[in-house]
Structure 1
Amino acid sequence: MKKFLLVFIITCFVGSLKAQNNAWPEIKKESRPWTRWWWMGNAVDEKNISSLLNNYQKTGFGGVEIAPIYGAIGYESRYIPYLSKDWMKMLNHTVSTAGGLGMGVDLTTGTGWPFGGPQVPAEFAAAKLVVQNYKLAAGKVLPDKLVVKDPKAGATRLQSVTAYSDKGQVLQLIDKVDVEGNLSWRPEAGNWDIYAAFSGRTRQMVKRAAPGGEGFTLNHLSRPALDEYLKRYDIVFANNPPKVRAFYNDSYEVYNADWSDNFFDEFKMRRGYDLRPHIRDLVGKELNTNVARLKSDYRETMSEMLLENFTIPWTNWTHKYNGISKNQAHGSPGNLIDLYAAVDIPECETFGSSYFPIPGLRRDSADVRNVDPDPIMLKFASSAAHVTGKNLVSSETFTWLTEHFKTSLSQTKPELEQVFLSGVNHTFFHGTTYSPEDVPYPGWLFYASVNFVPSNSWWAHLPGLNTYITRVQSVLQAGKSDNELLVYWPIHDVWNNPKGMDMPLKVHDVDVWLHPSPFYKNVKALQDAGYSLDFISDKLLKQSTSAGTNISTSPNASPYKTLIVPKADYMPVETLEKMIDLAKKGATVIIQQMPEDVPGLSNLEANRDKLYQLVSNLVFSDAGNGVKELKTGSGRILLSNDVQKALQYVGLRGERITSTGLKYIRRQVGADKYYYLVNHTANAVDTDLPLNVLASSVVILDPESGKSGIAVSTVSGNSTLVRVQMLPGEALILKATSDISGLQKWNYLDKVAKTVEIKGQWNLHFTDGGPVVPADKKLSQLVSWTELGDSAAIAYSGRAEYTLEFKMPKIKSDEYVLNLGKVHESARVWVNGQDAGVLWSIPYQARIGKYLRKGKNTIKIEVANLMANRMRDMDKKGIEWRKYHEINFVNINYKAFDAAGWKPQPSGLVGPVTITSFKN
């Protein structure tokens, strides 16, 4: 009998796993969220590393990303010099401990940011162009020495001396300058402007450097500089190579670095003409078309240098140590798509907070920065991965989401979902600060973080968010991206600007370089119309091929059905030739408007003639409805100012999902297709949702509860209609599949039988928090802790339990849904002693039918509030806790942080708590 029972249990367990595997993909460490782990002063030790990693693993993290930074004041004796033997011992212990927990470790190749440090001599530090202008008349000798006058220019080197006469002559005179800077030249006639160009240094130091990591910022445009920089690591790693998964590079924040010592040579090699005769136009105040062309060539050269002298060789270096590269390209003065594509894991970043019309979602304007994250900006990273066939796209997520200590888990959800919808599938929290056990509350904290730390009052409920992320990412990392459109990014239109010098493409400047462009407007309109798409650069387009009627960008990438070319004023001849060639070999290319010109000054007239000849050879016929068509080879080129009309002409329609207000992203996994759906609207959706796929069955998966079931679906024409119910703030995953073995039908919530408010005398017991744990309370009415008339409760941050016995009325129902009403800020629920889950986000409800009994029931609701009230109390009492080197601790507006003037934040369960019964 015992043997039979054991076999039965094992059989049931295996069957349960099989059913789960039919619904959800395999969970890997990358499926779980990772977090940036700041090592303050590198004041780490093996005991605390082990303890913290165990805590993180239990809370649902899949890995940590080590970032050594400045330290806490008063703990200098614990600091470990960066890359010392003791530091490497701590790193190896971290990797070993994490590995034993099934976690991964990533490591930045530096401290703070950007790359730099003591191994960077002035020769290899970030460089800038310094130009001085002199006047010289006929017969005169220049009295001034050609030396840099600016004492802040750092180490300088004279690189060119260009003389311009009032008659249009241009001469190069550097060979007439002696070692002391004297110009031995006397013009015979005319008035001359002398431009002396020097390679200077920005003198930027590493920001937030850790002890042993201080020094100049690296010249990212110089290969010799990178080689010298990496020697320090080669020496340290030679006998003790780290076994980290990835090396990463933070966002490019190298300021005013617009030059390199070898720039003149690189420019001539790449652009085919000498930049030195044009130095006056490069740095002058004239804003004409020729200057714009010159600066386009200058910026393109800088982009190529950053790619070929830094990003590619650095990635190759990471492979030498059996690692992979992870890079944030945003902020770089280069082609973002190419820079992202050159690494193993492209990483984007969210900064600030978005507005979502989800009812009840808290958003206080005083607690958010005046920055709206743009999902289209995030797609530069995901597009690079998709086009090159890379599986993982990461994001530094939640940077300055709200003011310190005021971020709820519910606020992270829609922001995170917006990241997922942009193609990201490997989330890194920003972030978690290593803090030893003996450091008083709140422990060590980083100044720009949401503070995903064990001292946070909602830490015990964080597994709710982490489990949600894990389930979603398990789907978004499976198979391949399933986007049908390629959209060409006309980078030369961005570069063709006569203003300024280098052009860092920053997240904070999208209103300047991205939003006004036809590219952006087309992408936004196409996504709103339900199309899924990726961006492609000139470089990656050249590597693409036609695969029948599709376009193949990489052997490992999903094929694309159409190439969209938004209005581009400037386009390289080679790019247009490639587009035509793709069409001849079977592809469909839709061009909004033919390019007007070629970019830059290099070989301008010859390139113009080629472009004009190419365009003139394209003879279109009228296809009606504002669309013109050219059939060429086995493919076609369509010309239409309205791109969507051209897509309709070729029979490509967007997913009608977006007409409901829902947003989506798709993945193709073998023969199955997954749809990740979110409802960021103010309205509930209950509809037969049309999917652009023919599916014999559709499975609904709930990433919050983990539940799954077979949906009601029918095939209609070329679509599958699937019934979907989603409240504001909810997310679901649909799996179009033929395999539904082991799955039950999805239980829809149809007819409301009755809604009952759970009333009575609640027992309120404060459990874990501080500064003082308030006394127990009995409540006949649910109110915020701040309204209890108890000063201890007003200052309290932590958790408290609400318990109540109630009697369920006799209702014949198929399901019961618990709704907690207002919750400040997250909750865990037990019904009759059974765990009903963590309710950490809007709409704060759960299906509890299987836990309820007839008659008398018991409910326990554990609620966690924010850290804000305790931090307010500490600052009102003048308790010192902000003691850090460098930037110390600032608020969201980068002013000194002080919570003393805050109003107490509502806390606890406010309700009403209801149970709604449903009949099918």
Structure 2
Amino acid sequence: MFARGVDAARFSADTSVMSIRSFLIFVVTALAVGTSHADAQRTATPRAATARVDTAARLPLDRSFRTPPDDAKPRVWWHWMNGNVTREGITADLEWMKRVGIGGMQMFDGSLGTPQFVENRLVWMTPAWKAAFRHAAAEANRLGLEMTMAASGGWSETGGPWVKPTQAMKKVVWSDTTLEGPRRFTGTLPRPPSNNGPFQGMRNSPGLDFPTEKDLPGAKPIAEAPEAAPDPTFYADTKVLAYRLPDSNVTMRDANPRVTTASGEVNAALLMDGDFGETLSLAIPDGAQETWVQFEFPTPFHAEAFTFAGAPALQFVGAPPIPQGRLEWSDDGKEWATLVTLPGDEATSAMFPARTYNFEPATARFYRVVMKPHPPNPFGAAMGVPQAKAITISELELSSAPRVNRWQEKALYGILNEYGPALATLETDPAIPVSGVVDLTARLRPNGTLDWTVPAGRWAVLRLGYSLEGTKNHPASPEATGYEVDKLNRLHVSSYIDRYTSQIKSALGPLYGKSFRYLLLDSYEAGMENWTDDMIAQFKTRRGYDPTRYLPVLTGRVVGTAAESDKFLWDYRRTIADLFADNHYGTIADALRKQGLGLYAEAMGADFPTHGEGLQDKGRVGIPMAEFWTPGPGQDDGPNHIADMREAASAGHIYGKPIVAAESFTTMPPPMVPAFSQSPYYLKRLADRALVNGINRFVIHTSVHQPFVDDEHKPGMTLGFFGQHFTRNTTWAEQAVGWTTYLARASHLLQQGRFVADLAYFYGEGAPNAVPYWKKVDPVPPAGYDYDWVNAEVILGRMKYEGGALQLPGGMRYRALVLPADVTQLTLPMVRKLRDLVYAGATLIAPPPVGTPSLSDGAAGDDSVQAIASIVWGDIDGKNVTSHEFGLGKVYWGRPVADVLAAADVAPDVSFRGASDAKLAWIHRRTPDADIWFVANQQERPEQVTASFRLAAKIAELWDASTGATTPATYTSANGRTEVPIALDPYGSIFVVFRRGTTATERTIPPETRATLATLPGPWTVTFQPGRGAPTEPVRFDALTSWSKSSDAGVRYFSGTATYAFEIDAPAEAFRPGNRIELDLGGVKEIAEVRVNGEAIGGVLWKPPYRADITDALVRGTNRVEVLVTNLWPNRMIGDLQPGVTQTYTFTDFRPFTKDSPLLESGLLGPMKLDVVQRAEP
């Protein structure tokens, strides 16, 4: 039992000491803090769809492992590109998927400017398109494939041409009017900006035009699109609020500074006019290290905050809209000191173009904004976006009044990775008193005029409303493109999904809910949204107070105190995140469930793309998804994708969802892997890493629909730069079954039972929130122990302490709850819950909380949190005092997590002895009948290790997902652990399975012996696949060497399958009892198959060692051996680009290579040999 041991009888009997004291502590603590009105909202347990899992329970596990069920098979994304769709292509695609072990396809209707190649382009949702779609569903039904479709045109997110402006995504906008009193005012308040864009009057960026090849063979002329009508706009009023301005308030524009720049004269008025829609461009000379804008005031100017506003950038590929740099101040314009550092891009994918910093009040005549050139964007360069040579600025403002620090991101116009104490607003005077905010909404007439008797003094009047973000779904065909629906509004989302599914139903008829079973939400790329029609009512319901008097904080003003304003914004962000989870993901999942469908969703996606809370969002959907990408040779995928996988898996575990999927092997041009260059072996390390991070269903990116069924259109249609290009036209398409079966076997085992973890890491209550990838977690999870991330919703509504562990309804058990070092603010409901868990016996590793982040906890919230902390945490300071007992449990802080676990006799779940620099990854699942560990070698070298597992009295077995073989293992058991020696190939992996009980403490399986009988010197007769430019007659190879080194251009540039034929005399050893003869091919690029005397041997060899047991096919005397070797497409594609080429052999809809692109090693590289192998029977 992980909790401190307690003598139950003594605890009950010793009422004079133990029970009464503990009981009084508990009661006094509860009475000291009372009950918050927001508790019920925070503890609500969501409803979410669950996936059907065919665990093949009717079969023994080893049999279902060898032949995995459909639920374990990988799916593929199936993009229909800009109407290039044919009925015969659909059938060919799906039959190939079924043939090679793919379990289903997830269909997108998209466009990256794809040219038209088919005779008749199928336009989205026209009768012809619906007929093709229905044919796809019928074929999926015939073949037993699961069919899914994206929830909009393109891949992000939920939008279409039927979304009305009133239903689209919204943002807060406002106008300012200054009035002098006392007098009666009956004038017009300026209407806030009503244009589409991310902030005030800013316009959206024009969007990325994907590079389109205009001269591709077979492309139809692209008709010029008619000039589009302007997008409709929308505006509605929310509130009119007034507050008195301090006498000291002076605007920068009123102070009339002289403006100069390093680049000469500019229109200085643009920088101070409050219009974020008009910009100026500040050129940076080539080679310059920085540029600047200087403000010289006639008299010293008092400043407390600084705002830099640029212009929206192209998502992912553009330059950051705010450069690196600094704000400086000076008394004489010669000696400068830094007031504020501009950090530039801050690692989120939602780069926002306006940012405000507050600072200790400063007074000076000179202020200077110094900016550095934008760094190059490699993704932008790959997409043809030139590097920015200038800095775009819409506003530069020094404010003499207090402003909330980083208020644009805190109010969710933009986003930050975290909103911790480092971003707290400084306490300065004068702030706006809460009671001083006057609600004039009832005095605003429909025509925008205000009738108000202004009291004495200067007053600011805010006319607050909302307009559209203007975001559209992308990258969709024009006919499928429209506004993204308001994600925060249940009624609008319901209307959207009802309309969308009704179109699908009309196309599919009875196949809807049969072969067609899911919708898919891809990673969120629709940007930010911070308002909806019923926002105030939703806020009142969810936070328990009226936000009206705090609404000026959404414009940067400080209301009440700086701490109050920050707490209001915490509540505001939390409300938006809850609405996003409930009304977007939750509403869609519920609507589909009622229709008999499920929902896959990358909710909200990697890279912190929007205002959600990752675990909560993923918890709302039936099948939570992550994504991971394919890096270039020698590189690792980013920590953002590791965190996303861990988040998806954690959501699956804590919300009780058995399937956790991932968009898999996505890629784009260098620095990632080049197009068409991924082999199964190249991808295996990435797949294994996904498996150990909790993924148990692969969704391969991507298998673009191939409309043509001839040999002249290969490799065929693509998603442009993006994706693996895994289609029936891939060179190794028919050999893919070895790879897909590996993925299916591994996924099947990791769908069994439940995940085993000792630790639950809590990432805090705030929003937006995601499993952190931008920093190291403190304290670090120790080696040998696995963990989940948990959120407030699960702790408050689902977690209990029972039976020596923290438990969740789905069966998850944890031995300790860990709060990272930066989680130091907790709401009252959370600190009460932690108190109760510890009192019941839980172990908590956490810093003492210092207060509440929320105004919902009332004026005394900080004091109440500290009162509980003083009892539960006692005198813990993390240095001199690192533990404290409370009730039956214990709190720790300042000790390594491993030491805490060891003190509780919780040994590592697994440990390894072997090379000190080995890189092994693992995961553990447990069923009622078995413990299953998966161990993966993450280096391209063999490893010999001894693994020690926290388990005894069971027999160890080794299960190989690449072959389906299950073999007994050598093991020794002692002291509650079992040690198993494991040999791993380069990037190799193995399952260690314990199913059967035993009283034996050891078993030894003699190792196999291997000896070389002969090295095969050749020659080899090589016959190349016809139609790829290679010689039509067999070619003699006297040595095994790469095709790319051949002097024959037809061989050098060949892509496809070539057959090496040769003869061997069967050695006498082949016929001795107990001997097995293996043909070892040596190096292979990329995939091999072996035939002996016409008989296929050993299946598809797609990873080293490339060996085939040929014993049973050998005959005495001469044997004919054929080795079929398949390489990848790039060499032939590069060959078609060589000067003077008149006949080409490849077709694609984009050109990823040039004539000078490097060729890939290809073919059979050897050395080839025959081995004799002896394996002892166990």
Give the TM-score normalised by structure 1: 0.86
1:881-904 deviations in whole A, cap 9, x for unaligned?
A: 9997xxxx5xxxxxx845344122
Q: Kindly tell me: are residues 137 and 882 of structure 1, through their superposed partners in 2, closer, same or farther at Cα, counting changes over 3 Å?
A: farther
Residue 819 to residue 566, structure 1, CA distance change in 2 (3 Å): farther
Separation in structure 2 between the aligned mates of residue 746 and residue 451 of structure 1, nearest angstrom: 46
Which residue of structure 2 aligns with residue 338 of structure 1? Answer: 616
Is residue 2:803 matched to residue 1:548? Answer: yes
Q: Name which of 576, 589, 594 aligns with 1:302.
A: 576
Q: Give distance in 2, aligned partners of 1:230 and 1:443.
A: 33
1:515 and 2:769 matched: no
Which segment is superposed worse, 50-59 or 97-106? 97-106
Task: Specify whether residues 460 and 138 from structure 1 end up closer, same or farther in structure 2 by C-alpha distance, changes over 3 A only.
Answer: same
Paired residue for 2:853? 599
Alignment of 1:655 onto 2:878 = no
SS at match of 2:860: helix
Question: Which amino acid letter does the alignment assign opposite residue 337 of structure 1?
Answer: L
Structure 2 Cα separation of the partners of residues 797 and 136 of structure 1: 76
Matched, 1:477 2:762: no
Say which is worse superposed, 21-30 or 776-785, in terms of deviation.
Answer: 21-30
Check whether the contact 2:602–2:624 (CA below 8 A) recurs between aligned residues.
Answer: yes
Does the residue aligned with 1:66 lie in a helix, a strand or coil? strand
Question: Shift in Å at residue 601 of structure 1?
Answer: 2.9
Residue 916 and residue 380 in structure 1: after superposition, are their counterparts in 2 closer, same or farther (change >3 A)? same
Q: Secondary structure at the match of 1:435?
A: coil
User: In 1, distance between residues paired with 2:243 and 2:1168?
Assistant: 81
The answer to whether structure 1 residue 862 and structure 2 residue 1124 are counterparts is yes
Structure 2 residue aligned with 1:798, among 1024, 1039, 1056?
1056
Quote the residue 2:469 is aligned against. 202
Partner of 2:529: 257
Structure 1 residue 395 corresponds to structure 2 residue 662: yes
CA–CA distance in structure 2, aligned partners of residues 396 and 792 of structure 1: 37
Distance 2:1146 2:116 in 1: 11
TM-aligned CA deviation for residue 143 of structure 1: 6.9
The separation in 2 between residues aligned to 1:289 and 1:236, in whole angstroms, is 50
In 2, the alpha carbon distance for the partners of 1:533 and 1:432 equals 34
Tell me if 1:216 matches 2:470.
no
- Which of 29, 50, 71 is 1:30 aligned to? 71
Q: Would you say 1:910 and 2:1172 are equivalent positions? A: no
- Structure 1 match to 2:978: 720
TM-aligned CA deviation for residue 411 of structure 1: 1.5
The alpha-carbon distance between structure 1 residues 18 and 337, as it changes in their structure 2 partners (threshold 3 A), is closer
* CA spacing shift, 1:861–1:159, aligned 2, 3 Å: same
Alpha-carbon contact 2:717-2:1148 (below 8 Å) kept: no
Distance in 2 between residues matched to 1:275 and 1:216, nearest whole Å: 29
Of 620-629 and 676-685, deviating more is 620-629
* Alpha-carbon distance in structure 2 between the residues aligned to 1:337 and 1:592: 20
> Is 1:57 aligned with 2:57?
no
Q: Which amino acid aligns with 1:349?
A: E
CA distances 1:809-867 after superposition (whole Å, capped 9, x unpaired): 66688555544333222222234534122222244445555556677554322221111
Residue correspondence of structure 1 range 417-428 to structure 2 within 5 A: 417-428=688-699
The corresponding residue for 1:4 is none
Aligned twin of 1:11: none
Separation in 2, partners of 1:353, 1:647: 36
2:1090/2:1108 contact within 8 Å kept: no
1:679 to 912, 937, 940: 937
Task: Say if 1:585 and 1:292 are closer, same or farther in 2 by CA, change over 3 A.
Answer: same
Q: Which residue of 1 aligns with 2:120?
A: 78
CA distance 1:52–1:644, change in 2 (3 Å): same
Q: CA, structure 1 residues 697+445, in 2 after alignment: closer, same or farther (shift >3 Å)?
A: same
Letter in 2 for 1:126: M
Partner amino acid, structure 1, of 2:1159 = P
Q: Percent identity?
A: 22
Task: Pick the aligned partner of 2:652 from 375, 385, 399.
Answer: 385
CA distance in 2, matches of 1:173, 1:625: 54
Comparing 191-200 with 387-396, greater Cα deviation is found at 191-200
Q: How does 1:404-483 map to 2 (within 5 A)?
A: 404-438=675-709, 440-447=713-720, 448-483=722-757
Structure 1 residues 746 and 700, CA, compared in 2 at 3 Å: closer, same or farther?
farther
Deviation at 1:333, TM superposition (A): 1.5
Question: How far is 1:88 from its partner?
Answer: 4.3
Does the 8 Å contact 1:353/1:373 carry over to 2?
no
Query: By how many angstroms is 1:795 displaced?
Result: 2.8
State the partner residue of 1:94: 136
In 2, the alpha carbon distance for the partners of 1:202 and 1:708 equals: 56
Q: In 2, are the aligned partners of 1:23 and 1:701 still within 8 Å (CA)?
A: no
CA displacement at 1:385 relative to structure 2 = 0.9
| Structure richer in helix, relative to its length | 1
Q: State the one-letter code of the partner of 1:347.
A: M
Q: Is the 8 A contact 2:177 2:190 kept in 1?
A: no
> Which whole-Å CA distance do the structure 2 matches of 1:819 and 1:171 have between them?
84
2-structure distance, mates of 1:73, 1:504: 40
Report if aligned partners of 1:80, 1:211 keep a CA contact under 8 Å in 2: no
Q: Note closer, same or farther for the CA distance 1:604–1:874 as it changes in structure 2 (3 Å cut).
A: farther
Q: Give the CA deviation at 1:426.
A: 0.9
Which deviates further from its counterpart, 909-918 or 96-105? 909-918
Q: Which residue of 2 aligns with 1:582?
A: 837
Counterpart for residue 173 of structure 2: 130
Name whichever of 292-301 and 654-663 sits farther off: 654-663
2:42 corresponding residue in structure 1: none
The 1:504/1:663 distance shift into structure 2, 3 A limit, reads closer
Letter in 1 for 2:530: D
Q: What RMSD over aligned residues (CA atoms) do the two structures have, in Å? A: 3.3
Q: Name stretches of at least 5 consecutive residues in structure 1 with no aligned partner.
A: 1-16, 355-361, 496-502, 890-895
Give the Cα separation in 1 of the matches to 2:1108 and 2:752: 28
More divergent stretch after superposition (724-733 vs 799-808): 799-808
Q: Which residue among 1135, 1140, 1143 is the counterpart of 1:873? A: 1135
- Structure number with the bigger relative contact order (C-alpha 8 A, sep ≥ 6) is 2
SS of the aligned residue for 1:483 comes to coil
- 1:226 deviates by 0.8
Native 8 Å contact 2:850 2:862 kept in 1: no
The answer for the alignment partner of 1:821 in structure 2 is 1082
Q: Distance in 2 between matches of 1:729 and 1:901?
A: 31
For the residue of structure 2 that corresponds to 1:800, the secondary structure is: strand
**C-alpha separation between the residues in 2 aligned to 1:189 and 1:914?**
98
Asked if the contact 2:662–2:699 (Cα under 8 Å) also holds between the matched residues in 1, the reply is yes
CA displacement, residues 671-714 of structure 1 (integer Å, 9 cap, x when unaligned): 21111111113553324321111143111111112222111112
Give the conservation status (yes or no) of the 8 Å contact 1:694–1:719. yes
2:240 matched residue in structure 1: 161
Distance 1:654 1:748 in 2: 28
Give the Å deviation of 1:84.
4.8
How far has the Cα of 1:768 moved from its partner?
Answer: 5.3
Q: Distance in 1 between matches of 2:820 and 2:525?
A: 30
The amino acid across from 1:328 in the alignment is E
Please tell me whether Structure 1 or Structure 2 has the larger radius of gyration of its CA atoms. Answer: 2
Hey, what's the Cα distance between the residues in 2 that align with 1:228 and 1:319? 16
| 1:468 Cα deviation after fit | 0.6
Aligned to 1:699: 957
SS in 2 for 1:264: helix
Cα distance per residue 1:627-649 (max 9 Å; x no partner): 85544454444444422211111
Find the aligned partners of 2:1013 and 2:880 in 1 and give their Cα distance. Answer: 55
Question: What residue is the counterpart of 1:617 in the other structure?
Answer: 871
Q: 3-state DSSP class of the match of 1:728?
A: coil
Amino acid at match of 2:161: P
Q: Does the 8 A contact of 1:23 with 1:699 survive in 2?
A: no
C-alpha distance in structure 1 between counterparts of 2:487 and 2:140, whole Å: 32
CA contact (8 A) 2:716 2:1148 kept: no
Q: Deviations over 1:56-110 (max 9, x none)?
A: 1111111111112238433576344444555444444333322332321112222
Within 5 Å, which residues of 2 pair with 1:729-744? 729-738=987-996
Q: Following the alignment from structure 1 to structure 2, what is the Cα–Cα distance between the partners of residues 336 and 788?
A: 52
Distance 1:442 1:469, change over 3 A: same
Question: Following the alignment from structure 2 to structure 1, what is the Cα–Cα distance between the partners of residues 175 and 492?
Answer: 26
